[in-house]
Amino acid sequence: MNMDQLKRQAAARALEEVRDGMQLGLGTGSTAKHFVELLGERVAAGLKVVGVPTSEATRADAERCGVPLTTLDEIDHLDITVDGADEIDPELNLIKGGGGALLREKIVAAASDRMIVIADDTKWVPTLGKFPLPVEVIPFGLGATRRAIEKAFAECGVSGQMAVRKDKGGHVFVTDGGHWIVDAQLGRIVDPPGLAKALSAIPGVVEHGLFIGLASSAVLAGGEGIRVIERRKPKGDQE
């Protein structure tokens, strides 16, 4: 089975949790796209749900697949968000934002009763950090923001190269929110909750790709089948 088939399997397993009448957060990326497509098939067969997309790309996919959409202004909570991840650790802390959608993804995940992370099992890591950590920043004053980020890294016992993300054409990548992304090659993040807190406190940092205490479960598809890992601590508990 190839990687794409594994991603689709994980998406199909998460879909089993969806019930009629649910309000869903729709993640972004190649794995979440499978979920939106499979959800669209269920909607066509009569399932009644509404979704809040976490990016313009997912909005377009959902519209194409016939999934009815709403916003967090029109509804007051989401039952489940299903989203992919770039790395998942045994505490179900995540690195997200490889596709640049981390800000909306985090807003949507935080508004959800449950967040189910779907992935092929190569995303499962003992320690976060091999995948470059995306930090979404305001372009104004970027030099000062970068220095503050470096200081936060040092205080949290990590260091590494930082680079402003570029698109395929070599232009600065601009997020759906109109911001830029700095990717930091940290290697090994020893204290993800501590680093998340330090980055969130920096003016100029809009959001970062550390998702701490947000995932309720992870569905990992691998050569030997599907593993579902439940979070031990309640949602929002960062200790």
Ligand X SMILES: O=C[C@H](O)[C@H](O)[C@H](O)COP(=O)(O)O
Chain contacts with ligand X (rule: CB under 6 A): 27-32, 83-86, 96-102, 105
Q: Nearer Cβ to ligand X, position 136 or 145? A: 136
Q: Closest-CB residue for ligand X?
A: 29
Amino acid at 8: R
Does residue 230 have an active-site annotation? no
Q: Can you point out the beta strands (E) in the chain?
A: 23-26, 50-53, 78-83, 87-88, 94-95, 112-120, 133-137, 162-164, 180-184, 205-208, 210-211, 217-222, 225-230
Q: Nearer Cβ to ligand X, position 116 or 148? A: 116
Distance of alpha carbon 26 from alpha carbon 44, whole angstroms = 17
Q: Annotated catalytic residue: which of 56, 63, 91, 105?
A: 105
Cα-only R_g, the chain: 17
> Contact at 8 Å (CB) between 195 and 95?
no
The least distance separating ligand X from the CB of residue 38, rounded to whole angstroms, comes to: 14
Q: Nearer Cβ to ligand X, position 122 or 159? A: 122
The least distance separating ligand X from the CB of residue 96, rounded to whole angstroms, comes to: 3
The least distance separating ligand X from the CB of residue 135, rounded to whole angstroms, comes to: 13
The least distance separating ligand X from the CB of residue 179, rounded to whole angstroms, comes to: 13
Q: Nearer Cβ to ligand X, position 44 or 228? A: 228
Distance of alpha carbon 180 from alpha carbon 103, whole angstroms = 11
Active-site residue numbers? 105
